[in-house]
Amino acid sequence: MKQVFLLLAIVLGVSDAVVAQESVTLLKPEQVFDGEQTHAGWVVLVKGNFILYAGDADDAPATDVDRSIDLPGQTLLPGLIEGHSHILLHPYDETVWNDQVLKESIAERVTRAVNHVRNSLMAGVTTMRDLGSEGAGYADVGVRDSINKGIIPGPRLLVAGKALVATGSYGPKGFHEGVDVPLGAETADGYDDLVRVVRSQIGRNIDFVKVYADYRWGPDGGASPTFTQRELETIVEVTRSSGRPVVAHASTAEAMRRAILAGVETIEHGDGATADVYKLMVKHNVALCPTLAAGDAIAQYSGWNKGVDPEPPRLQNKRRSFKAALDAGVTICFGGDVGVYPHGDNVRELEMMVDYGMPAEDVLRSATSINAGLFHIADKVGRIRTGLLADIIAVEGDPGRDISDLRNVRLVMKDGVVYRQ
């Protein structure tokens, strides 16, 4: 049968990739973390680009196997789902954010992004939610589509495009009033303007809208709310009616409160949350993407010698506020703001989640099944389960016990295709 299909494929000019999709791979790890819990003695059968079977080796269906991959001492798990990346940014200690936005050409930024998405995939990240192009227009949409077309390797991307900011709030800043600089996001204000701009972003086929509900424009230079309650509600109403969600950057308790009540689905950062705000998040089913690793990286870029100097007050506060979110029962999204630190070093956030008080197995859930649910893709990825897409990684060791074992990636499979072995 296979030969007939191959012959037919040659005659019809169908690519090898299509033929390969019929093949069956048997994966034999030490154990499987299925997105919920860890099972010893499981095997996984992949047929084409989906999972045919995951369970006890003894109960596996009888089928011809084209290749068998032994993964001794390794844990097989769903490909990681990064919840907060910026593929069009690179670490700020290489080039400060202002200069990336103002001086790097779109071509340079896209070229860098090609490297960033490849590094992410090779690190075991098979899906990424990207939180805004930061001045690179809709380049993220183009990179997403290029990956989907098979032009470059990379994770499945969910992208925000330009993102929304209130006039006057966003950067680059620090120029006198005669200088017009391009911004890292798109401004819109008031009902009519917001409706028009949100629709124009949706029309570029973004996956969700990102709004900056606060920014560092307070009287003391600190974070302060930007959009009014009514403006946020407008953004959510217009975005939702197109079948897409809204997510909000918010650090202050007031901006978080407004965004939650307006109907956003995740809050990014959330450093200044109060107990009341966390209660409101639980009540309205809004998740927190804490971006612990970004704060940690920025503190180090400003001279903090981690492991030697005492932890800066800002980070001590973040540690407390993350613990309070856990205690309040807030759903935690894995999202580190990667791009502030190197793409492919996504595990840094997961290690910090453990360091800040989250059990390792909960962290694994957050990075797989929880994020899949939050991003409305649980019917496709996030678990090792029959019928889901074969986005699978294997790592040496047991990351449910030591999260840093996620750094020992031995196998990366996305959509049934092996990218690293």
Residues forming contacts to Zn ion in the complex (CB under 5 A) are 131, 337
- Give CA–CA dist 300/392, Å, rounded: 33
- 150 Cβ partners below 8 Å, 6+ apart? 17
- Based on the number of CB atoms within 10 Å of its own CB, is 314 exposed (0-12), middle (13-18) or buried (19 or more)? middle
Query: What's 382's DSSP letter?
Result: S
- 122 Cβ partners below 8 Å, 6+ apart? 344, 409, 412, 419, 420
Between the two ends of the chain, the Cα-to-Cα distance in Å is 29
**Could you write out the DSSP letters of every residue in 166-186?**
-TTTSSS----TT-----SSE
Instruction: Name the residue nearer to Zn ion (CB basis): 82 or 337.
Output: 337
CB of 335 to Zn ion, least distance (A): 8
CB of 213 to Zn ion, least distance (A): 13
CB of 347 to Zn ion, least distance (A): 18
CB of 114 to Zn ion, least distance (A): 20
In the β-sheet with 209-212, what is the strand arrangement from edge to edge? 186-187, 164-165, 209-212, 246-250, 266-269, 287-289
Instruction: Name the residue nearer to Zn ion (CB basis): 131 or 358.
Output: 131
CB of 84 to Zn ion, least distance (A): 6
Instruction: Name the residue nearer to Zn ion (CB basis): 337 or 351.
Output: 337
Instruction: Name the residue nearer to Zn ion (CB basis): 27 or 131.
Output: 131
- 85 Cβ partners below 8 Å, 6+ apart? 120, 128, 129, 130, 131, 335, 336, 337, 338, 339, 343, 346
Asked if 134 contacts 100 with a C-beta cutoff of 8 angstroms, the reply is yes
Instruction: Name the residue nearer to Zn ion (CB basis): 166 or 338.
Output: 338
Instruction: Name the residue nearer to Zn ion (CB basis): 154 or 184.
Output: 184
Instruction: Name the residue nearer to Zn ion (CB basis): 131 or 264.
Output: 131
CB of 337 to Zn ion, least distance (A): 4
Say how far residue 247 (Cα) sits from the centre of its chain: 12
- Separation in Å, CA 190 to CA 166, 231, 235: 9, 6, 10
Count the helices and strands in the chain (H runs, E runs). Answer: 14, 19
- Based on the number of CB atoms within 10 Å of its own CB, is 174 exposed (0-12), middle (13-18) or buried (19 or more)? exposed
Q: Which residue has the tokens 């470059």?
A: 152
CB of 309 to Zn ion, least distance (A): 25
Single out the residue of 202, 191, 199, 196 nearest to residue 160, CA to CA. Answer: 202
Instruction: Name the residue nearer to Zn ion (CB basis): 86 or 385.
Output: 86
Instruction: Name the residue nearer to Zn ion (CB basis): 337 or 415.
Output: 337
CB of 197 to Zn ion, least distance (A): 20
CB of 328 to Zn ion, least distance (A): 23
CB of 168 to Zn ion, least distance (A): 20
